[in-house]
């Protein structure tokens, strides 16, 4: 019966994450073009502003991921997830009616605050899953992300062909439906006896990162996650603009390509995670995923045609096994009462990556396609992402050597 309840809870959170990511994915193909419309169609100017938007989103995640994680440790995961989904739904309505760039920017800030609940979903998985099953469960959560991005960008691209504002209305409906679904169905994963007191001192992002530094391997794995997240930022930061510049893909084309990316990612994480961890172990699976991601970015960066770019998608999809492996290794080093703080700390690092990455990658893209470019190399941001994953491989090789300890990080 315990196994059945755990499986049912996994299904609930799986569907919740699909709906959440679906809403986020819908706006991906249209937001850069909407920003460009406020910039008179200038792609270089739009890339600069879009980078600022991405940085603002990440700052909010950096600040509020540990807050939400600590709140979920105190009041339970369910309430935090529901309130965040409700906030996202209302925010998408604001963005749908925004007629000025500053108002659209405010909407993006609110979205960053509410989207920080993804860290709580990870803590939910850690609550209900035994240590030796977590890599597989995190893989399923990654598959939920993949499925969300299968439908989200494709639906967003199709909606954008009808009206540029329609994707935001659809995203609002999905987020509000997700909040209602969770309120009716989603059970609480953290019993009262395992909850810990809330403290602003512990909930701030710097305190969360200090928590990671208390254990050498945990801190090293956090560095791997940071480098991986920083590399990942290149996709939302420049992919839409890159595809329009190099391959002349429309919003609909981008949506379909992102759907293919999502399908491949979901297949890898749902179908290959369990056998790979069983055959290779979490450490080697982590290394395999990082190497595949680096190779995929190289293909993206040098692809002279859309067809060559598509060849890199299944290679890149293998990168999806890295994060669940890293998450499993990290959660085993933290007490059950601090899983929310751990996930908040991890997503704070993702927030730092998101603060640095959008500006860095968009400026590199703008530099290498501008009139003053030292070399016309539109794929330069992807090649930089490949180098970051190469550094992550070396760090993972060094810090994930020892057997997984059972001790508690206080």
Asked if the structure places residue 343 within a domain, the reply is: yes
Report pLDDT for 150: 65
In terms of residue numbers, what domain contains 81? Answer: 2-183+202-399
CA neighbor of 132 nearest in space, from 280, 282, 342: 282
Confidence label for 363 from pLDDT (cuts 50, 70 and 90): confident
Asked if the structure places residue 190 within a domain, the reply is: no
Question: Could you tell me the CA-to-CA distances from 142 to 222, 277, 367 in Å, in that order?
Answer: 18, 15, 33
Q: Are 355 and 59 in contact (CB under 8 A)?
A: yes
342 pLDDT more than 90? no
Confidence label for 1 from pLDDT (cuts 50, 70 and 90): very low
Tokens 């759907």 label which residue?
259
CA neighbor of 382 nearest in space, from 322, 296, 308: 296
Asked if the structure places residue 405 within a domain, the reply is: no
Asked if the structure places residue 410 within a domain, the reply is: no
Asked if the structure places residue 312 within a domain, the reply is: yes
Task: Read off φ and ψ for residue 129, nearest 5 degrees.
Answer: -120, 130
Question: Could you tell me the CA-to-CA distances from 169 to 6, 108, 164, 172 in Å, in that order?
Answer: 34, 15, 10, 5
Domain total for the chain? 1
Q: Are 361 and 51 in contact (CB under 8 A)?
A: yes
Residues 6+ apart with CB under 8 A from 271: none
Give the highest mean pLDDT range of 38-47, 265-274, 295-304, 317-326.
Answer: 295-304
HSE-up (13 A, CA, CB side) for residue 88: 34
SS3 233: coil
Asked if the structure places residue 404 within a domain, the reply is: no
Q: Which two tokens stand for residue 281?
A: 């172990």
**pTM of this prediction?**
0.67
Q: pLDDT digits over 378-394, tens only?
A: 889 999 999 999 999 99
**What is the CATH classification number for the domain harbouring 315?**
1.20.1250.20
Asked if the structure places residue 104 within a domain, the reply is: yes
Asked if the structure places residue 193 within a domain, the reply is: no
Report pLDDT for 298: 95
Report pLDDT for 99: 84
């Amino acid at each position: 019966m315990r196994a059945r309840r755990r499986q049912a809870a996994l299904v609930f959170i799986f569907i919740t994450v699909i709906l959440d990511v679906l809403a986020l994915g819908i706006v991906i193909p249209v937001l850069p073009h909407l920003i460009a419309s406020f910039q008179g169609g200038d792609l270089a100017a739009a890339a600069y502003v879009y980078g600022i938007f991405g940085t603002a989103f990440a700052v909010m995640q950096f600040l509020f991921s540990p807050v939400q994680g600590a709140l979920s440790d105190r009041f339970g995961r369910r309430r935090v997830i529901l309130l965040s989904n409700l906030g996202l739904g209302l925010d998408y309505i604001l963005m749908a009616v925004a007629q000025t760039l500053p108002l659209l920017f405010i909407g993006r800030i609110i979205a960053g605050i509410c989207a920080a609940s993804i860290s709580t979903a990870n803590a939910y998985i850690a609550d209900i899953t035994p240590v030796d099953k977590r890599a597989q469960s995190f893989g399923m959560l990654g598959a939920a992300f993949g499925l969300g991005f299968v439908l989200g960008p494709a639906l967003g691209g199709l909606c954008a062909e009808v009206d540029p504002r329609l994707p935001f209305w659809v995203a609002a409906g999905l987020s509000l439906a997700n909040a209602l679904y969770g309120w009716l169905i989603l059970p609480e994963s953290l019993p009262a006896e395992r909850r810990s007191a809330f403290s602003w001192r512990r909930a701030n992002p710097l305190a969360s990162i200090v928590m990671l530094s208390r254990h050498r391997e945990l801190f090293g794995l956090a560095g791997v996650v940071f480098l991986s997240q920083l590399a990942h930022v290149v996709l939302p930061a420049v992919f839409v603009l890159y595809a329009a510049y190099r391959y002349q893909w429309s919003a609909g084309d981008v949506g379909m390509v992102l759907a293919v990316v999502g399908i491949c990612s979901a297949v890898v994480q749902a179908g290959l995670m369990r056998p790979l961890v069983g055959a290779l172990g979490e450490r080697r699976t982590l290394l395999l995923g990082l190497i595949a991601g680096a190779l995929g970015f190289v293909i993206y960066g040098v692809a002279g045609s859309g067809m060559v770019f598509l060849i890199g998608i299944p290679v890149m999809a293998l990168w999806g096994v890295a994060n669940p492996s890293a998450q499993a290794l990290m959660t085993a080093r933290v007490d059950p009462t601090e899983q929310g703080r751990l996930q908040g700390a991890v997503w704070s690092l993702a927030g730092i990556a998101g603060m640095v990455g959008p500006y860095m990658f968009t400026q590199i893209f703008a530099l290498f396609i501008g009139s003053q470019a030292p070399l016309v190399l539109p794929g330069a941001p992807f090649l930089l992402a490949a180098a970051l994953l190469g550094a992550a491989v070396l760090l993972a090789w060094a810090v994930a050597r020892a057997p997984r300890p059972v001790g508690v990080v206080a």
